[in-house]
Amino acid sequence: MGRAFVYVIVGGGVAAGYAALEFTRKGVSDGELCIISDEPVAPYERPALSKGFLLPEDPTRLPSFHTCVGANDEILTPKWYKEHGIELVLGTRVKSVDARRLTLVTSTGETITYNFLIIATGARALKLEEFGVEGSDAENVCYLRDLSDADRLATAIQSSSNGNAVVIGGGYIGMECAASLVINKINVTMVLAGAHCMARLFTPKIATFYEDYYMGKGVKFIKGTVLTSFEFDSDKKVTAVNLKDGNQLPADLVVVGIGIRPNISLFEGQLIIEKGGIKVNSQMQSSESSVYAIGDVATFPVKLYGEMRRLEHVDFARKSARHAVSAIMEPEKTGEFDYLPCFYSRFFAFSWQFYGDHVGEVVHFGEYEDGKVFGAYWVKEGHLVGCFLEGGTKEQYETISKATQLKPAVTDMEELEREGLGFTQTV
């Protein structure tokens, strides 16, 4: 025996929360919508876990960062879902889905049927074991994807004060966690496989600025190498990490941020998969017409670049969720999803945003020396396609976002460099 809903969202993360808000705005009725999540709490703003959550004083805790605090909308607490007649099934994993027959089975053995399914299962952190390194289940080795990981890391931080941490990976998880560890008075060494931090996005000049700042805070960088094994004590706690370059680093705490994989296994063999995600069209609709995919798990057409992409960023999770709900509930009013890729991060007192595509030639602008407001443009085939800005105001971020979307012509790179941020105001 089981229940039936008109709409079911599998996964209860960022995208699910924003989809729920949009459903209520479009007028969902009591008992029509169900969200099933294996996490024990209502959807929350995941980026908080590597930022305010890890602070030593007055750390951010639920319910203050439930969705949709990021959009200055209401905070969707469990009470909100109840008041809006939305069934929130927490701490429950969806074990199988039959996308054709419109049914799924949960870990409690319940069968649930639906008219529309939205897949919002996000991604999981890649484990060291997947790269041949054993022992990452030790209590002082931490990953960071969900609230239980963040609780574990916060506890490990408390017991490592004045000790040594090794951060594996120089992406945004590594950079944000390293900053939080420093603020918690822990000595940090970052181990980067590439030549600099945020290697997929930052230019060497941008990376050098932030790395110099981190080094000024005592952070050491070891680059161009990877972790090969751990040393353990008799309690199976890690005491040191061994690197491929022969270095051995003492460690009271290890934080691993080496990438993610979308959670698509429920749908393999049932839906078309592309670039590691569930392929959707410009309505976020998968190869089965009643099944939609949003957030980290979706590979969608980026209209602006005429390409299929999968994005692992919170802005996309929020906007793709709204678009999918609109496409389901008001198909005739919903046009093609026209999304400008956007990504941001915050560490120490820094805050940056990136819009567009990071391909082509790069022009840097602004005051890299004083580190207040600076950035870079990416120019491809004579058009501005990407913009990075550190320290901008809300208005400046809006301006660069609008300008990047328009892909304005750039005829003179030197002129662009001289005009700097001012260029986007003239577009």
Q: Which residues bind ligand FDA (CB under 6 A)?
A: 10-16, 36-39, 46-47, 49-50, 93-94, 120-123, 144-146, 172-173, 263, 266, 295-297, 312-315, 317, 343-345
The span from the CA of 280 to the CA of 418, in Å, is: 41
User: Shortest gap between Cβ of 149 and ligand FDA (angstroms)?
Assistant: 8
User: Shortest gap between Cβ of 88 and ligand FDA (angstroms)?
Assistant: 12
User: Shortest gap between Cβ of 59 and ligand FDA (angstroms)?
Assistant: 14
The span from the CA of 40 to the CA of 182, in Å, is: 30
- Residues 179 and 203: beta-carbon distance below 8 Å: no
307-336 as b/e, with b when 16 or more CB fall inside 10 Å?
eebbbbbbbbbbbbbbbbbbbbbeeeebee
The span from the CA of 154 to the CA of 158, in Å, is: 6
Residue nearest to ligand FDA (CB): 13
In the bound state with ligand FDA, the residue whose beta carbon lies nearer, of 16 and 69, is: 16
User: Shortest gap between Cβ of 229 and ligand FDA (angstroms)?
Assistant: 26
Other beta carbons within 10 Å of 58? 7
The span from the CA of 355 to the CA of 242, in Å, is: 38
Q: What CA–CA distances, in Å, run from 294 to 125, 227, 314, 337, 409?
A: 18, 33, 11, 12, 32
In the bound state with ligand FDA, the residue whose beta carbon lies nearer, of 350 and 420, is: 350
In the bound state with ligand FDA, the residue whose beta carbon lies nearer, of 178 and 297, is: 297
- Beta strands 103-106 and 94-98 are antiparallel
| Omega before residue 63 within 30° of 0, cis | yes
The span from the CA of 43 to the CA of 242, in Å, is: 38
In the bound state with ligand FDA, the residue whose beta carbon lies nearer, of 42 and 243, is: 42
**Token pair for 271:** 């839906």
User: Shortest gap between Cβ of 26 and ligand FDA (angstroms)?
Assistant: 19
DSSP state of 248: E
In the bound state with ligand FDA, the residue whose beta carbon lies nearer, of 141 and 314, is: 314
User: Shortest gap between Cβ of 142 and ligand FDA (angstroms)?
Assistant: 11
In the bound state with ligand FDA, the residue whose beta carbon lies nearer, of 36 and 188, is: 36
Residue found under tokens 């662009």: 416
In the bound state with ligand FDA, the residue whose beta carbon lies nearer, of 278 and 379, is: 278
The span from the CA of 420 to the CA of 399, in Å, is: 13
User: Shortest gap between Cβ of 44 and ligand FDA (angstroms)?
Assistant: 8
In the bound state with ligand FDA, the residue whose beta carbon lies nearer, of 120 and 256, is: 120
DSSP state of 29: P
Q: Is 266 helix (H, G, I), strand (E, B) or coil?
A: helix
User: Shortest gap between Cβ of 112 and ligand FDA (angstroms)?
Assistant: 12
User: Shortest gap between Cβ of 331 and ligand FDA (angstroms)?
Assistant: 22
Contacts of 6 (CB under 8 A, 6+ apart): 28, 32, 33, 114, 115, 116
In the bound state with ligand FDA, the residue whose beta carbon lies nearer, of 257 and 423, is: 257
In the bound state with ligand FDA, the residue whose beta carbon lies nearer, of 278 and 385, is: 278
The span from the CA of 214 to the CA of 263, in Å, is: 33
User: Shortest gap between Cβ of 39 and ligand FDA (angstroms)?
Assistant: 4
